[in-house]
Amino acid sequence: MSVYLRAYVKMAQLPEENDIFFGKPEGSEKPASPVSEQPSQAKAKSKEELAREIAKNMALSFEDDDETDADINNSIENNKANAQATAKSAPQKSAESVKKPVKASAYDEDDEYEQPKKKERQVKATSASAKNKKKKKKKKSHAIDIICGVMAVVIVAGVGGIYAYGKNAYKDVFLSGTKINGVDVGGSTKEEAVKKLEAQTSFKDKIEITKRDGSVVTIDLHELDLTNNLSAAVEKIYDKQDHTLWFKALLNPTSYEFDPDSTFNDTKLNAVIKRKVIQGQNVVESKNAYIEENDDKTFTVVKEVVGDSIDENKLDQVYSYIGSEVSNGNYQISIADLDVYEKPSILAKDLQEKCDSLNAIVNTELKFDFVYEQATLKGSRFYDWLDFKEDGSYTVDHDKVVNYVAELAEKYNTYATPRKFKSTNRGTITVDPDESLYGWWIDDDKMAELVEDMILAGKSDTEDAIFYTDPSGALVYEGNRDCWTADDDIGDTYLELDLSAQHMWYYEKGKMIWQCDVVTGLPNKYRNTPEGVYKLWYKERNKNLEGENPDGSKWSNAFVSYWNNISTSGIGIHDATWQPYFGGELYKWNGSHGCINVSLESAKYVYENVPLNTPVVAYWSD
């Protein structure tokens, strides 16, 4: 009861203001006082206008936390006193206003008898009037109490009705003055509020992705189950409002803020990115730089192509980057500078040196030293043996290299070939090779490998020719380096052996400086000493000789002091102290197993004076 009376008193004390919910009624006027207001003095207020004022002042009363019921009663009593004072003063003022002035008679100053009587009548009249006034005051005070009581009842009923009216008016809608993100949704349903927010909120509905080539791929987010958080936010804000205190919102409107957001299906986004961006049309593949061969045997570097094809191993990085940008509110995304593109593995700058080398191939000269001269292989010749690759590398046709080595062997090999020789007793003769192993013999396989390596090196160079070496490593099939020429490889320093005469000479620089008789092999199929050109391969001291007979039996215990090996088949010059003499025809019945038998002194001379690699020419003069 006190709440509504307080509201009533407030309404009586406050000046009229515009109502923020209902608005100011047209034609309404401020009454002088709630007590003195008469129906005839002001226009009758409608029920809605009265509800407006009461609701407004109810809201004000809820804010005045310090006012008590006693204060309200005091206010009522003060109003009553004011009303009584007003009522008391009103009749007196009216009597004074109608009192007529008394005209003085001629007898006024002298008529002493009449003056007391007049005063007595006036006193009586005043006393009667005072009594009447007291009665009237009591009646009016009682009337005021009755009016206040009636009005209190009316106010309580009115306020109750207004409260119910307001509560019903704000059922399922936002309270008056409610704003969400600056949008007025007071009096709106949740659905209406969502629509108002949607009209004022800009949500991105597409993603634009710029690729390295400048092209833009657009992704419609509606295809990705696009949703936003407006409905959830509105629902949450609505639930925060206490609709039972709807009248407080009239003077205390509330504002709410939240971050509008939208979501979509990330899995579908990644699928669309892969289809439109990564596997889309017009993808330019990256290409390596390469070296192009021209018709004039020159080469040019063709620059690499940096495309926009994305490395499939970096797809997750693309998805993550785009997703992160969208989460940050960026819907226009460039992936041009993202490090996810396939890169050329070979760049033009990496090939320039190789290209220069290739251009120099035709001017390349490969030289092979054959002692007395060098064989030269020019790039203009072996250029056609090459198979060039785009990265600047090339391979060599091995068969063509083998053919080239065969040409070298044809020209420079002297091993096992017939030779012209100027003999001591017979003049110039031809010495057949037979079983002799003297001369220059190119190692075909190793020489081909050398030529191929030098070609692949791509630069001019000089290397020694490679000659065959016995598998044991002790015998190298070379002639005498001091005497090799285009026409001769024996020279003027050599041992000459006439098998028919059973005699041997040693020539040094064209002069014969030593000679001796010999016993050579028994002239039969198994023990004969073959003619040919040999060389002094190596020397040994105190060697025990052994061998095999034609029937397979072994022989041994042939001790020699000086062993001078001249062949790879076991033929040597050695001392044979078991022979009774040397020369003549002793070889025909007491010949050796193929070696050249000499005296101890002769064997020692050869061992001490004849250099290694000295040619040994053996021939039959008869």
Instruction: Give Cα 507 distance to the centre of its chain.
Output: 82
515 three-state secondary structure: strand
Taking residues 221-243, report their average pLDDT.
Answer: 86
Asked if the model's pLDDT at residue 316 lies above 60, the reply is yes
pLDDT tens per residue, range 258-310: 888 777 788 888 888 888 777 765 778 889 998 888 888 888 999 999 887 88
More confident of the two residues 27 and 445: 445
Taking residues 498-524, report their average pLDDT.
Answer: 96
Identify how many contiguous H helices and E strands the chain contains and give both numbers: 14, 26
Contact assessment for residue 470 and residue 357, using Cβ atoms and an 8 Å cutoff: no
Domains and CATH numbers, the chain: 2-86+128-169 (no CATH), 362-464 (3.10.20.800), 494-619 (2.40.440.10)
More confident of the two residues 420 and 117: 420
Asked if the model's pLDDT at residue 64 lies above 60, the reply is no
Helix axes 190-200 and 230-240, enclosed angle (nearest 10): 130
Q: What is the pLDDT of residue 500?
A: 95
CA atoms 463, 467, 469, 475: torsion sign: negative
Which two tokens mark 169?
Answer: 């008016």
More confident of the two residues 375 and 527: 375
Q: What is the pLDDT of residue 38?
A: 39
Which two tokens mark 188?
Answer: 């709106």
Q: Exposed, middle or buried by CB within 10 Å (0-12, 13-18, 19+), for 110?
A: exposed
Nearest Cα to Cα of residue 488 among 440, 447, 443: 440
Contacts of 553 (CB under 8 A, 6+ apart): none
Taking residues 211-237, report their average pLDDT.
Answer: 85
More confident of the two residues 621 and 7: 621
pTM for this prediction: 0.51
More confident of the two residues 293 and 502: 502
Contact assessment for residue 207 and residue 331, using Cβ atoms and an 8 Å cutoff: yes
Nearest Cα to Cα of residue 571 among 613, 621, 521: 521
pLDDT band at 17 (very low <50, low <70, confident <90, very high): very low
Taking residues 374-400, report their average pLDDT.
Answer: 91
pLDDT tens per residue, range 333-372: 898 888 888 889 889 998 898 888 888 888 999 999 999 9
Asked if the model's pLDDT at residue 74 lies above 70, the reply is no
- DSSP-derived letter for residue 181 is T
Taking residues 441-460, report their average pLDDT.
Answer: 95
Q: Determine the Cα–Cα distance for residues 402 and 424; give it in Å rounded to an integer.
A: 42
Asked if the model's pLDDT at residue 555 lies above 60, the reply is yes
pLDDT tens per residue, range 176-200: 889 999 999 998 998 999 999 888 8
Asked if the model's pLDDT at residue 532 lies above 80, the reply is yes
Distances (CA, A) of 134 to 84, 142, 406: 11, 12, 160
Contacts of 613 (CB under 8 A, 6+ apart): 478, 479, 480, 481, 535, 536, 537
Q: Determine the Cα–Cα distance for residues 322 and 334; give it in Å rounded to an integer.
A: 9
Mean pLDDT, rounded, of the chain: 78
